[in-house]
Structure 1
Amino acid sequence: MKTELPEALARAVQTRLAQADKESWARRLWEGDVTLWTNADEAKWIGWLPAAEGKQVDFAQIAALVEKAKGHKDAVLLGMGGSSLGPEVLALILGNQPGFPKLHVLDTTDPDQIAGVAKAIDPSEALFIVSSKSGSTMEPELLRAYFWELAGKDGNRFVAVTDPGSKLEAAAKADRYAFIFHGDPAIGGRYSVLSVFGMVPGAAMGLDIKALYDATASMVSACGADTAVKGNPGVHLGVIMGEAANAGRDKLTILPSKGLEPIGAWLEQLLAESTGKQGKGIVPVDLEPLGAVESYGTDRLFVHLHLEGDSDAELEARLKALAEAGQPVVHIPVAAKEDIGQEFVRWEVATAIAGAVIGINPFDQPDVEAAKVATRKLVDAYEQSGSAEPETPIVETEDFAIFAPQATALSPSDPKQLLDLHFASLQPGNYAGFLAYIERSAADEAVIATIRAQVRDAKQVATVAGFGPRFLHSTGQAYKGGPNSGVFLTITRDPDPDLAVPGHKASFGNVQIMQARGDADVLAERGRRVLRVHLKKGGGGIKALASAVEAALNS
């Protein structure tokens, strides 16, 4: 790891490293010493450390799954947050091996995405992995109901990954699933990629799980309890992250080379959900288009993960220019994509250490439940009445309607003025968030990237984006519980066509919109600045919104 830090940050990092060395932070981490953090329940949540050594999985059961998966064309993972983001990294970076199924990861209630996967597979042939630590998370349960019907209720092609005693375990036993893999209750979801929650989907793709652990072992050793702090990659990175956040550089901007780009979504959850609480924390910035030096304020920490063999002269030149301009840049080389497990370990240790530096518990997520409760209330009301509670827009055009989840001083009748006032509230050190409850497609991602670049360049602020409800189990914690510096634009639309959920009045499209409404309500309750833009059927869609934002920024 190579670091280029401005002088003040470099001094703070060296001071903290000396403290960490003197106070044996690495050893205390491995021992689960709660005094390293907040004297709360941190000791209950360090099962991810032995999991990184391969101690959580049953290799005989994994081998049986490998034999079961052979010959299947497709496997579909139904999960959210920690149950889906790690496996998605494995699928996108390592991929399925010859003779093994392609893994499709579904962590959404978006009807278009669900229908897209259903169309891409043969439901009578595919293998389905239902993954949920608690076993009662709403989205996997709705997805399980849908694909259970579509697959002909054939339990022989279903696999459950869940903690012991969960509702999902009971359902899997009743429906005679082929396998039930038990998680470790001492591992939080976002730290679970090297447990069964990552390794079961990996094995189904034909990955050599033992070889993955072998490749990871050197990083586990380097981050071990007896390794001196100066030679400990996880502790060193964690101290940099924590000190940067304490100095106001709390927007950790992820700049991976092309071959490692998928890791950003996993890092988002790990960093945001672990550190974003009590008004503190790190806001991860992933997939933001690369800008000129003058586009960035003084609230950034840039981290570049570089896969050997990847070449990007423009990115390298920009990184050099950023460092020369006094921006902190961390370079992390990765020798081969098969070493991805090493990065899982490095960043998990770093995140736990950053929590110690910031002064928070990196293993709880006190604000995630609020959006779930708000959504459940709306969904339960829909199940009883068959309709959603009506709402009135502040302003509307032929393309979209704009809603505020609570009383707001923003009340012009011109949508351009309304958006202008919304983004005008961005101040140095703030960030703009785009929370899109629409299909996570390449086309939609490209338009949102364009909007982000426009706002960043106009306001010199960081920008983040997430697709809902996926981000609710990830960065949503930091948006609600972290620094109150976000200005959010929630984006919804009426799905066309929609998709029914077996046994429910509320469709997937209904649920998705109610998740957006519940999330926006909670953001507003927490004092966050938020508007919701609802794209109308037959209008210009998200491109019309992009045009409206551009006009507002240029007014």
Structure 2
Amino acid sequence: MIPIVDESLGAPGDYGADRLFVVMRLSGESDPASGAIDELVVAGHSVVELGLEDRHDVGAEFVRWEVATAVCGAVLSVNPFDQPDVEASKVATRELAETYERAGAFPAEAPVAAQDGLTLYADADTAEALKEGAGPAAGVGELLAAHVGRLREGDYLALLAYLDMTPEHLAVLQRMRHAVRASHGVATSVGFGPRFLHSTGQAFKGGPDTGVFVQITADDPNDLPIPGRGYTFGAVKTAQALGDFRVLVARHRRAVRVHLGHDVLGGLDRLEHLVCGTPR
């Protein structure tokens, strides 16, 4: 199960049969989304409604879902208190950080394509598969379209953004996810790295192969050295992104990385144009 957070409520036709909707309503308060929820029920979607008598009942919901996670893990024969793939990312991150400290740079990567300030990276197998679909001379836009086109029924798209979590960045990512939901009818997830690694990160790498991942990185305009170490805070974040991507590839996940360069917001705007086909 992948929790879908902050995806705006759409029409019943926007969703496949793989969704479970959970609605929490506070007693005595009107719910502006009640009509849309009723439409989901009429359309046959699975909807669970939970009533809260008081705002403090949210604390009880934390307990409810923690217990539900443990029970679900037992049913699936999964240890819900273990996170081996999160640890694998940590190991990869440490290795990359140590390499940077020794050599002053991360291992060289050969980009698959570069276009309008955006650089796309992928492992050899993924690059070959995307070029088969988009053509050997395809640019970043065509390769991204081929990558998103790998979504199948029951899959989800995850945008893994190793960027500052600002309202401006989030707004662009939200538009991208909703465009893909509308065009492919799949669930979408937006996570800001490295914070998502300890939540959905385990499911992305250790769960079923139903995710299509677009990792987004950028240069840090402001960076600071870490006292006593031969690298900066920005280098640590880059190591976390590269380490996470390395483990996604090792788990044979469908993943690409798009690097925005120095102009983060401009790069996101160009990426949105390529993903959504919207004019700039």
Tell me the TM-score normalised to structure 1 length.
0.47
| Pair 1:542–1:307, CA change in 2 (3 A) | farther
Residue in 1 that maps onto 2:110? 392
Residue in 2 that maps onto 1:295? 14
Q: CA deviation at 1:307?
A: 3.1
| Higher mean displacement: 409-418 or 485-494 | 409-418
> 2:159·2:214 contact (CA, 8 Å) conserved in 1?
yes
Q: Quick one: which amino acid aligns to residue 161 of structure 2?
A: A
1:541 counterpart (260, 264, 267): 267
Distance 2:246 2:198 in 1: 16
Percent identity reads 46
1:372 aligns with 2:90: yes
| Higher mean displacement: 476-485 or 396-405 | 396-405
Residue in 2 that maps onto 1:192? none
Q: Deviations over 1:400-444 (max 9, x none)?
A: 111114432223432221011001110100100100000011111
Distance 1:392 1:309 in 2: 58
Q: Quick one: which amino acid aligns to residue 301 of structure 1?
A: L
Within-5 A mapping of 1:185-224: none
2:194 counterpart (469, 493, 500): 469
Q: CA deviation at 1:295?
A: 0.6
Distance 1:340 1:325 in 2: 29
> 2:157·2:212 contact (CA, 8 Å) conserved in 1?
yes
Distance 2:124 2:248 in 1: 10
Q: CA deviation at 1:394?
A: 0.8
Q: Quick one: which amino acid aligns to residue 488 of structure 1?
A: F
Q: CA deviation at 1:399?
A: 2.6
2:81 counterpart (356, 363, 373): 363
Q: Which has the larger radius of gyration?
A: 1
| Pair 1:308–1:439, CA change in 2 (3 A) | farther
Q: CA deviation at 1:357?
A: 2.4
| Pair 1:538–1:440, CA change in 2 (3 A) | closer
Residue in 2 that maps onto 1:435? 160
Distance 1:458 1:293 in 2: 14
Q: Quick one: which amino acid aligns to residue 6 of structure 2?
A: L
User: What secondary structure sits across from 1:287 in the alignment?
Assistant: coil
Q: CA deviation at 1:511?
A: 1.2
Residue in 2 that maps onto 1:484? 209
User: What secondary structure sits across from 1:285 in the alignment?
Assistant: coil
Q: Deviations over 1:297-319 (max 9, x none)?
A: 01111111223455442x21111
Unaligned runs of 5+ in 1: 1-281
Unaligned runs of 5+ in 2: 132-136
Distance 1:358 1:305 in 2: 26
> 1:406·1:524 contact (CA, 8 Å) conserved in 2?
no
Q: What is the Cα-based RMSD across aligned positions, in Å?
A: 1.7
Q: Which has the higher contact order (CA 8 A, sep 6+)?
A: 2
User: What secondary structure sits across from 2:224 in the alignment?
Assistant: coil
| Higher mean displacement: 478-487 or 342-351 | 342-351
Distance 2:220 2:124 in 1: 25
Residue in 1 that maps onto 2:65? 347
Within-5 A mapping of 1:52-71: none
Distance 1:443 1:488 in 2: 21
Q: Which runs of 4+ in 1 moved over 6 A?
A: none
> 2:115·2:139 contact (CA, 8 Å) conserved in 1?
no
2:4 counterpart (276, 279, 285): 285
Q: Deviations over 1:232-278 (max 9, x none)?
A: xxxxxxxxxxxxxxxxxxxxxxxxxxxxxxxxxxxxxxxxxxxxxxx
| Pair 1:501–1:311, CA change in 2 (3 A) | farther
Residue in 1 that maps onto 2:134? none
Distance 1:468 1:375 in 2: 13
Within-5 A mapping of 1:103-114: none
Q: CA deviation at 1:339?
A: 2.6
| Pair 1:405–1:501, CA change in 2 (3 A) | farther
